[in-house]
Amino acid sequence: MIRARRFDWTLAVAVVAISVVGMLNLYSATWTSRPQLYSQQVSWMGIGLVGFAAAAALDYRTLSRVAYPLYVAGVLSLVAVLFVGKTINGARRWIEIAGISVQPSEFMKLMLILAMARFLNDWPVAEGRALRHLAIPALMVAVPVALVLRQPDLGTSLILVLIFATVVLLIKLRRGALISLVIVGALAAPLTWSHLLKDYQRQRILTFLEPGRDPAGAGWHARQALTAVGAGKLEGRGFLHGTQTQMHFLPERWTDFPFAVWAEEWGFLGSVVLLGLYLFLILWAVRLASDARERFGAILCTGVAALLFWHVFINVGMVAGVLPVVGVTLPLFSYGGSSVLTVLVGVGLLMSVSLRR
C-alpha cells in the first residue's frame, strides 16, 4: 500500500486547479445554449478521476508488458471507426458504445506513448541512434496517423507526429539522423498537402497565411476568436459577461475555442494565470521524467508532457491567430469525454511514476 506521504500533492493540486477553472469556463460557454454539455462533462470528469486513480495505483512498469497489445488494440479501433464509426459534421471519428460516443484517436495518443516507451527501453543504443534505429518507431506513428487522417482529423494526427518527434529529439540521436528526418519531413509535406488533406483543411491553412482571403467562411472561426481575446483587454469583461460568448458570435466555444471564452471574461491577467498553471504542470512532468527510476518511466513521462504541451501550444496558437485552425482541444478545458479521460489517465501515469521514484 502506498502511503499518503508519498502522494504527489503538487501534481494533484495543479490538475485539480486546471480542472476547476475549466469546468467554470465550460459553464459560461454552454449555459445559454447547450447546458446539457456541462452536465455530461461533469460525468466524464467523474469517470476520468476513476481512470486517474486506477492509473496511479497501477505500477506503471507492468504496462510495459502490455504496451504492444494496447497499441494493436488502438490501431484496430481506428480501423473500426472507418467502417462503423459515427459521422458528425462530415467527420467519422467516433464509435458509439451503449449509447455513449467515444473517440478512439484520443486514446491512441497514450497507446502510442506506451509502445514507443517500450521499444526505446528494450532497444537502448549507447552510441546514439541512427536513422535505421527509428524505422520501427516511425512506423508506429505512421500507421495511426494515416488512419486518423482518413477520418479526417488533422489536429489529432498532428499531435501524434509531434509526440513522436518530441520523444525522438530527447533521446540520443545522431546528427545525420536528425538531418535525414528533417529532409524526409520536407519531402512529405507537399504529398500530405496534395493527397491527404481535405479541401476545407487546405482552405483553413490558406486563410491563416492570408487572413483576408475568406473572413466570412474559412476565416470566420479564427476571426471571432481573436476578437474575443482582444475584447478581454487587461482584466476581462467578467464571468458570464463576455459578449462574443454569450451572444453566440464565437463558434465551437466549448471544443476548439474555450481559451477565447476565458480570455474575454478574465482578460490578459487571467490568461497568464491559466498558462502559468499549464506550464507548471508540463514542467513538473518533465521533472518526473528526469527523476524516473528507469528508461521506460522517463520516456512515458516525456510522452505525457509532450501531449500536454502540444495541445496547449496549438490550441492557444489557434485562438491567438499565430497558428491555423486544426481542431486541437485544450486539456481539461474543452468539452469531450474521450479527451478528458485521456488526459486524466495520462496524469495518473505521471502520478504512478512519481509514487515509485
Q: Does the structure show a pLDDT above 60 at 22?
A: yes
Task: Dig out the grid coordinates for 186 from the structure.
Answer: 520536407
pLDDT score at 125:
61
What does the pLDDT average to over 168-181? 74
What does the pLDDT average to over 226-233? 91
Angle at 50 between CA 47 and CA 52, to 5 degrees: 110
What does the pLDDT average to over 85-90? 80
Predicted confidence band at 126 (pLDDT cuts at 50, 70, 90)? low
pLDDT score at 130:
67
What does the pLDDT average to over 318-343? 92
Task: Dig out the grid coordinates for 205 from the structure.
Answer: 491553412
Q: Does the structure show a pLDDT above 50 at 251?
A: yes
pLDDT score at 181:
73
Predicted confidence band at 217 (pLDDT cuts at 50, 70, 90)? low
Question: Which three-class secondary structure string do you get for 147-186?
Answer: HHHCCCCHHHHHHHHHHHHHHHHCCCECHHHHHHHHHHHH
Decide: helix, strand or coil at residue 252. Answer: coil
What does the pLDDT average to over 57-61? 93
More confident residue, 87 or 342: 342
**Cβ pair 18, 281 in contact under 8 A:** yes
Q: CA torsion, points 202, 203, 209, 210, in degrees to nearest 10?
A: 160
What does the pLDDT average to over 319-337? 91
What's the whole-model pTM score? 0.92
What percent of the chain lies above the pLDDT cut of 70?
92
What does the pLDDT average to over 207-229? 74
Angle at 302 between CA 318 and CA 25, to 5 degrees: 40
Give the number of other Cβ atoms within 10 Å of residue 118's Cβ. 21
More confident residue, 197 or 145: 145
What does the pLDDT average to over 259-282? 96
pLDDT score at 1:
46
